[in-house]
Chain A
Amino acid sequence: MPELRATLRRLQLRLRGERSGYVLMAPYLLHMAVFFGYPLLFAFVLMFHRWDIVTPMEFVGLKNFVRLVRDDLFFRALLNTGIFLTIHIPMQIIVALFFAELLNRPLRGRGFFRAAYFMPVVVSGVVITILFQQLFAFDTGLINRMIRALGGEPVPWLVSPALAMPSIALMATWKNVGLYIVLFLAGLQHIPKHLYEAAELDGANAWQRWWHVTLPMLNPTMVTVVVLSTIGGFSLFIEPYILTGGGPLNATLSAVLYIYNQAFYFNHMGYAAALGFCFALVIFVVVLLQRRFVETDTWS
């Protein structure tokens, strides 16, 4: 009889587990259905309609997409994001690796330096952007004043269409690189010492050890940096919004800024949703390609 009671008890607990599983999961699932599921489905409805929120929606079929493939500004935003990423990602990796390598040496005050480099990461993008608005200013900006004091020509950071996006990429690197220093540093500290010893026994010099041991072992971190930076590049908003308003000559128009303009300046909700869908598609493909070409199977 005690066995039967124990079995019953276990069954009871199991049933309770089943029921409480649903009960505990319910608030999350409900929220997900309303604030993720519904918007996701509605995005697919909205992009085939014309809608200004006030008057009723009007079905327009593929018109939004026909318009999109002819929209210079859509491609301009893609190009701008591309420019941003080709500068931002390599610069981020090089600077972060450089400082991570330095901080991986035995030295005093390592925590202090790490904490100082990390500071821009936690501060609001609004603060960083207002700060750089002043640093980048052509006549009065701190950077150009320094350049002039050293006898150089002032740089048209945000004024020149060719330089505006690279300047924003520089600023974004300055803001984010502290996070990647920390990630690379953690990666470096997890590389087993015996790999270096083995490489040394095989006659590899310092550079070869770095190239054949360190770099492959950091690959997972590298993938993280590349993917996070890519998503960040497509989400740029407050930086051009404050610094340039998307100008000069649309040179800093970003994906999110363009969606924002279409939706809230022109009230083109349907077109903005179509833009969102296409940008999301591009992000998906780009991240997939990056994973394919950056990720290597060093572990097996």
Chain B
Amino acid sequence: MRRLLLYLILGIGLVVFAYPFVWMGIATFTPEAEIPELTLLPSRWTLDHYRLVFERLPVWRGLLNSLVVALAVTASVLVFTSMAAYALAKLHWRGRETVFSIILFTMMVPFLLLLIPLYTLVVRLGWTDSLLGLIVPFMMNATGVLILRQSFLTIPRDLIDAARIDGCGELRILFTIVWPLSVPALVTVGLLTFIGSWNEVLWPIIVVREVQWMTLPQLVALFAVGGGAEGQLGPQLAAAFLLALPIVLAYLFFQRYFIQSFATGGLKG
């Protein structure tokens, strides 16, 4: 009896948290007039909403922009943040503790303080309306340093010293010895950075005004706000669904990694 109640409550939670997505998916194939109705399935299926979205929005271009930005940011964060984390965890140099404290301090400064000056900097560099303006300011990441440093600290000293005696340079040690031993931390940092960049929308809205450089979340947000959908629900939901799809698909296959990464990121942040 108790057990049944437990599953009943968990089931209600399931409806509350997951059903809206299912509803949204179905609504994107439902004729406009039927969307607000309380039916589980539409009387007929339609592709009209998607047709309108693909007519009005450069979806493929937005997808490409988003992918380029997210991949460039993630690759850069992994490489450069690893180098910094390795220097902080495994090398001895004067000023190391000071630099680490400064990095911790940078995490405490709210982004809204930097928003305007960072924007004016990007303007001065001439990077508005370009992907550079979306990529370069986020090529490093303090949370990444923290997570990777923590992981690198657990790697035995002897292993690294042995490689040094064999004549390995530090970069080679980092990428051929330390990296293979730190895969979970790299996955965490990579996933957090990629999803963060993929979902970011405030910064693109500020920096990019030309449609050809817009990322997908930006296109979809402006489509919903700017009346490109002519007040129709179906196309707005269809655009939103297209935006959610890649992440949801990735999530279905790798949810363990997602949950683990976000939990780590949450505790460090």
Contacts and interface: CB of A to CB of B under 8 A. Distances in A.
Interface string B160-188: 01001000011100100000000000000
A169 interface: no
Given A31-B140, A123-B199, A276-B114, 6 more contacts: A40-B113, A103-B10, A122-B262, A124-B198, A237-B201, A273-B117
Closest 7 CB pairs of A and B: A21-B93, A28-B84, A39-B117, A140-B36, A21-B91, A280-B113, A24-B87
A287 to B, nearest CB: 9
Interface in B182-216: 195, 198-199, 201-202, 205-206
A38 B224 CA distance: 35
A215 interface: no
A144 to B, nearest CB: 9
Contact of A279 (B94, B112, B206): B112
A199 interface: no
Interface of B: 3, 6-7, 9-10, 13-14, 16-18, 20-21, 23-24, 27, 35-38, 80-81, 83-84, 86-88, 91-94, 96, 99, 102-103, 106, 108-121, 123, 136-137, 139-140, 145, 161, 164, 169-171, 174, 195, 198-199, 201-202, 205-206, 217, 220-221, 224-225, 233, 236-237, 239-241, 243-244, 247-248, 251, 255, 258-259, 262-263, 266-267, 269
A196 interface: no
Contact of B87 (A21, A121, A130): A21
B176 to A, nearest CB: 15
A19 B262 CA distance: 35
B114 A39 contact: yes
Contact of B91 (A20, A120, A140): A20
Q: Which of B9, B23, B87 has its CB near the most chain A CB atoms (within 10 A)?
A: B87
Contacts, number: 263
B80 A13 contact: no
Interface residues of A, number: 92
Chain B contact residues: helix, strand, loop or mixed:
helix
B224 A24 contact: no
Given A24-B86, A228-B266, A237-B202, A126 B243 contact: yes
B116 A182 contact: no
Interface in A30-65: 31-32, 34-36, 38-40, 42-43, 46, 53
B112 A235 contact: yes
Interface of A: 13-14, 16-25, 27-29, 31-32, 34-36, 38-40, 42-43, 46, 53, 99, 102-103, 105, 107, 113-127, 129-131, 133-135, 137, 139-142, 145-146, 149, 174, 178-179, 182-183, 186, 224, 228, 231, 234-235, 237-238, 241-242, 245, 255-256, 259-260, 263-264, 269, 272-273, 276-277, 279-280, 283-284
Contacts of B255: 115, 118
Contacts of B80: 27-28, 31
Contacts of A139: 36
Contacts of B217: 124, 126
Nearest to B139: A31
A46 B116 contact: yes
Contact of A28 (B83, B233, B239): B83
Chain A contact residues: helix, strand, loop or mixed:
helix
Given A124-B198, A126-B220, A238-B201, A28 B145 contact: yes
A116 to B, nearest CB: 5
B67 to A, nearest CB: 14
Given A22-B93, A123-B244, A182-B262, A269 B116 contact: yes
Q: Which of B20, B247, B267 has its CB near the most chain A CB atoms (within 10 A)?
A: B20
20 contacts: A18-B92, A18-B94, A20-B169, A21-B96, A23-B170, A24-B83, A24-B91, A31-B139, A35-B118, A102-B9, A118-B259, A119-B248, A123-B21, A126-B201, A140-B35, A178-B17, A183-B267, A242-B221, A242-B225, A259-B115
A36 B106 contact: yes
Given A39-B121, A234-B112, A224 B137 contact: no
B199 to A, nearest CB: 4
B171 to A, nearest CB: 7
A262 to B, nearest CB: 9
